[in-house]
Structure 1
Amino acid sequence: MELDPRRAVGRGVLSLALAGAEAIDLLDLGAIRLDGDRLVPAGDPTPQDALLRQACTALVRHEPYESLDDWLWRRGRALADGYEAALESDGDLSRTHRRRLPFGSGGELVLTDSLAHRRAQERREAGDPVLTALVAAVGLAAEPAAEAPDPTDDTATVLAAVGEAELELEGERQRRSVEEAAFDNIWRGA
Structure 2
Amino acid sequence: MTTARDLLIVSMDVTTADQSVGQGELSLALAGAELLDLAEAAALTLDGDRIVPGPAPFDLADRQLTEAAAALSLQEPYESVEDWLWRRGRGLYAAHLAALEADGGVTRKHRHWLPLRAERDAVADSPDRRAAVERWTSGEPVLAALALAARLRDEPVEDLAGRTGDTVVTVVTAVDDAVTELVAVRQRRTIEKAAFDNIWRGQ
Query: Same fold by TM (over 0.5)?
Result: yes
Higher relative contact order (CA 8 A, sep 6+): 2
Q: Which residue of 1 aligns with 2:50?
A: 38
Q: State yes or no: 1:76 paired with 2:89.
A: yes
Choose the corresponding residue for 2:122, options 90, 110, 122: 110
Q: Which residue of 1 aligns with 2:185?
A: 172
Deviations 1:19-51 (A, max 9, x none): 000011111111111112211102332211100
Deviations 1:116-162 (A, max 9, x none): 11111111111100101111112221122224233861110000000
Alignment of 1:47-62 (within 5 A): 47-62=60-75
Q: Which residue of 1 aligns with 2:157?
A: 145
Deviates further, 153-162 or 131-140: 131-140
Root-mean-square deviation (CA, aligned residues, Å) is: 1.6
Cα 1:85–1:33 shift into 2, 3 Å: same
Q: Which residue of 1 aligns with 2:194?
A: 181
Cα distance in 1 for partners of 2:33, 2:142 equals: 9
Q: How many residues align?
A: 187
- Mark the runs of 5 or more structure 1 residues left unpaired by the alignment: none
Q: State yes or no: 1:12 paired with 2:24.
A: yes
Task: Normalising by structure 2, report the TM-score.
Answer: 0.87
Cα distance in 2 for partners of 1:80, 1:88 equals: 12
Q: Which residue of 2 aligns with 1:90?
A: 103
- After TM superposition, what 4+ stretches of structure 1 lie above 3 angstroms from structure 2? 149-152
Cα distance in 2 for partners of 1:46, 1:73 equals: 25
Q: Which residue of 1 aligns with 2:9?
A: none
- Mark the runs of 5 or more structure 2 residues left unpaired by the alignment: 1-11
The Cα shift of 1:63 comes to 1.3
Indicate the SS of the match to 1:182: helix
Task: Normalising by structure 1, report the TM-score.
Answer: 0.92
Percent identical residues: 48
Cα distance in 2 for partners of 1:172, 1:111 equals: 31
